[in-house]
Structure 1
């Protein structure tokens, strides 16, 4: 069976049953209710007086003596990006690898996020990397967070990445030593280490953020962020059973992907739950289920790679014969290309394609809004839970329990849109407009500072050849070859979505990046190259390619309800990714490795001649 093409889907989507003009007007009204003049400044960072919100509640910090040694490769970041890079480096024969992370163990976002109900929203057989290498098949189609965290640990154990690993350690500076051909790296633990190669994979969703609500510091009850869940206060574990809340009035602030997962547990276990919502999420059916043993027993070598590439191809609009996943993501692949670009239907004009896309989007969102009416018993509550925006304005959510929670008499939905959010916090209450809600505990499901890694934020200063600062060299925008490395900064690699490609299954993107970096370092070893560094010409060519191919979705974003996708309604301009999408980008990387890899492999004595 073939997956339907864009053209086929268009033919199945008649325009006459969709009132686009009235829908656009409703979307605009709902957007305007929520836009704030302070944009992203409405949030505050978990630093300074609020730094305790970001501390590690899971692993005690162990004192140790500072290190002053040398390794071949330093990988900054212990999430799936760092883990897959470390694993691939081991597979190509690199022995001296040091992993470093601010957390107390491996796992990245799956280390920090352990809140009740946490699951992956991408099918686990495609999302969790290196399943075949570790010898594991997930127990659930959409795996719970603890299963994913344990797999991260299993990757580290399988590939010997605990050897020389440093946890609860943050890099504070990086300086290139031209004479020795190494990076000198300082940390907040007093370390002064050297590394021939440094790979940064510190993530872009790592530091929790808080809403800048007046009076938040005056609340005398208990507070915590979902990414630092306080089971000592709530009782229970990631499966629920929050017995410590049985006599507590609890507020949860935020109804995004995290809120959708945690609210059913809070609603079930708290004496009373108040859900403070600015913008409702779109919530479709999840239909999670245990893995079929007969199916898992029939898998043949290479099954995960095939499944991952099949999913990525469908999401990117590439032709496939069969949809191996068949879930909410692949069913709405066409709509996702507003945010994650890929192959486009060129059989119609751009204007007609946009019209047909908008019709398909409206039909999907109408169905999701109809589901709210079907599940939520109180009409007024149901109306407040309906998402009035285009499908990819916010990350879509899937749950078979979230909407049902609002049928409980001990759960109250508080819509804050007309008040610009929560008005203020007192010593014992949250105030919206003129109404006070007395609570014992406030749980912040308010997400993370987006795109703020240590390197990009300046928290980790990087100085390359001749003391040149990385951020200064990027003052007019990042300058990389394929998103990985920059001239003037030898042997430094970046993982992430900058100037390469993106996808809803970002773990797959990171795996491809890890394989690319490992291949480059392996080839450097084979050829005796001392430096991996792109030329100015190659870098400029790639930056120009990204700029010319990037999909300008600013008009779409401007029409969206405010959120982290559009920087709270302030985003302008196009994306910083390769426009044709991840499948095309990965094809470019493979061809480049086959024909042009030697362009970045040089001897240090020849660098000045480039």
Structure 2
């Protein structure tokens, strides 16, 4: 077996001046920094609530308010909520009710059905429970509709539809000491009293809008506006495969060039009469090369293949990235840096003698080379030199979410597609009755589409999209975590009995987000099922255990702030930390020894069977 049995290091340019590029990166960052940071985005409440709360996929039908006691409420029906429900069922907890704002399971894959939507992670890793459900993705990067259908199949497989409460948004979650239950109020007038609550709102739960003046003026004058996560096919025609025939005589503005924008531009450019793409910061866009699943490869797989592949992906991903004992099974733009680093280190005279500073220097150099390769790809594919230059990303790999597409760059060669750079003004200036203003120029358009992302690194009160979460003695979770998370194992917090959390808090972080959700779901299900078996009314961490875990997290924490500060502003670094908020990683406070080290820790904790650090009350 050679070092690379499936794929090797890529060819990247050697003729680069890293010192000059480092200065260029900082210049490009500085001109995009805004003093308001993440506060530049509108929270979708009040006049703007329709951008988030209107469901374009499922009509909301009237029903009688629910007034009942239940065992477990899972708040959110995306992949995290589905996995929480599935593992609870597997652990013998049957009275599980998933409460979901949308009309079905799927979460981000229910809401996001825009043209061209695909997952940009390896589907064989990302889509959970493939072996358990006997399903194989049709291609490496699965379409959104395929993932959505798999989500529905998880719900069917584990009987989660039986207790599901759809088209319902939880407004308040309050602990009632008199009955030792959580009281949930909703926008449907429900009074649900749950013994346990699992919070699974997810990272892509709630859309956000840039705070551009004049949005309402534009709408009131007859202009059409929607967010990409609430796609309006009545207006555009077509479906997720494209064919947006109703845009044939329309002038369209697309605001945002992140992962969603990269997938949208080819379809909008093909079908709209005129497309203006407003870009503050370009994405890095690599070759996608999306291939159908090879039946011969499928027939060669042995039981346990998906877990093996997920572990392999994590090791080769930028979260670890130096692997000498296993070939890269995933072989895509996420693992390129790991392959190139490993090859460089292996070629050194004495790899074992390299210290961490030398390894990090190699990583930085390979990072610069990869980004230069991507910039030169743009120059090769985009015909207009000025447009090509504007599309070039000048920042480190993982300063923004990496993207891939075989059609995005070529779309800017179309005569009806215009790139409008708004980096100098740090965004679009305003909307008028006729259109959109950028760099002092008014672009008359019939429709504005915001591909502006989600509440990922804003305050937790905005991300959870709830008015109130109050634990014992009326303490707000938002206040409790205001100065930093306080948890045991990242899933439960003192003063909030019988409440559990998933997401980027204080636990393991993987390049494969659904692996993290599955890890958390299994751990939470174990705790709840053991509390039920032991006839405990209340379970929560002791103060000592919580303090110990917070101490462990911060003792082992890796200070990545220098890298984050150097990055172009975006949700990865809380928009550069303006508005008095400072840099806040969207990854929360990870367990720095690693995702699978954390997995081993949890398994050992569960194997002991004594629920160490938890306080149970009958």
Normalising by structure 1, report the TM-score.
0.92
Counterpart position of 1:593: 606
Asked if residue 395 in structure 1 is aligned to residue 406 in structure 2, the reply is: no
Per mean C-alpha deviation after superposition, the further-off stretch among 187-196 and 142-151 is: 187-196
2:298 counterpart (292, 296, 299): 296
Give the C-alpha shift of residue 82 in structure 1.
0.5
Alpha-carbon distance between aligned partners in 2 of 1:159 and 1:476, rounded to the nearest angstrom: 38
Alignment of 1:11-22 (within 5 A): 17-22=15-20
8 Å CA contact retained: 1:481, 1:542: yes
Q: Secondary structure at the match of 2:571?
A: coil
Q: 1:336 to 1:385 in 2, by over 3 A?
A: farther
- Post-superposition Cα deviations, 1:389-432, rounded to whole Å, max 9, x if no partner, equal 11111000011110011111111111111122212221112122
Is contact 2:542-2:614 (8 Å) kept?
Answer: no
CA contact 1:2–1:323 (8 Å) conserved in 2? no
Q: Report the counterpart of residue 608 of structure 1 in structure 2.
A: none
Aligned match of 1:329 in 334, 349, 352?
A: 334
Residue equivalent to 1:579: 592
Residue 422 of structure 2 corresponds to residue 411 of structure 1: no
**Cα RMSD between the aligned structures?**
2.4
Any gaps of 5 or more consecutive residues in structure 1?
Answer: 338-344, 606-610
- Deviation at 1:444? 0.7
Among residues 456, 464, 484, which one is paired with 1:450 in the alignment?
456
Cα 1:601–1:356 shift into 2, 3 Å = closer
Distance 1:514 1:186 in 2: 24
1:175 corresponds in structure 2 to 174
The answer to whether the Cα contact below 8 Å between 2:73 and 2:198 also exists between their aligned partners in 1 is yes
Looking at structure 2, the residues matched to 336 and 275 of structure 1 have their Cα atoms a distance apart, in angstroms, of 35
2:297 counterpart SS class = helix
Q: Provide the C-alpha distance between the structure 2 equivalents of 1:186 and 1:3, rounded to a whole number of angstroms.
A: 57
Q: Does 349-358 or 491-500 show the bigger shift?
A: 349-358
In the other structure, the counterpart of 1:201 is: 200
Report whether the alignment pairs 1:492 with 2:499: yes
Q: Distance in 1 between matches of 2:404 and 2:181?
A: 47
Per the alignment, residue 156 of structure 2 pairs with 157
Q: CA deviation at 1:258?
A: 0.3
Which residue number in structure 1 is paired with residue 550 of structure 2?
543
1:502 correspondence with 2:515: no
How far off is 1:597 after superposition? 4.6
2:55–2:230 Cα contact (<8 Å) kept: yes
Residue 89 of structure 2 is matched in structure 1 by 90
**1:39 to partner: Cα distance:** 1.7
On the 8 A contact 1:529/1:602 being kept in 2, the answer is no
Alpha-carbon distance, 1:2 to partner: 6.1
1:47 Cα deviation from its structure 2 partner: 1.6
- Output the CA distance in 2 between the equivalents of 1:272 and 1:167: 38
Partner of 2:27: 29
Q: What is the Cα deviation at residue 368 of structure 1?
A: 0.4
Check whether the contact 1:202–1:454 (CA below 8 A) recurs between aligned residues: no
Q: Give unmatched runs, 5+ long, in structure 2.
A: 343-350
Structure 1 residue 322 displacement after superposition: 2.5
Q: 1:223 to 1:240 in 2, by over 3 A?
A: same
Matched residue SS, 1:196:
strand
- TM-score (structure 2 length as normaliser): 0.91
CA shift digits 1:270-313 (9 cap, x unpaired): 11111111111000011101112232233332222221222123
Distance verdict in 2 for CA 1:294–1:92, change over 3 Å? same
2:358 to 348, 352, 357: 352
**Structure 1 residues 51 and 346: alpha-carbon distance in aligned structure 2, compared to 1, 3 A threshold:** farther
Q: 1:104 to 1:236 in 2, by over 3 A?
A: same
Is the CA contact 1:214–1:424 (under 8 Å) kept in the aligned structure 2? yes
Q: Which moved more, 1:41-50 or 1:176-185?
A: 176-185
User: Is the Cα–Cα contact under 8 Å of residues 249 and 440 in structure 1 kept in the other structure?
Assistant: yes
Deviations 1:508-544 (A, max 9, x none): 1101111111122233333333332111111111101
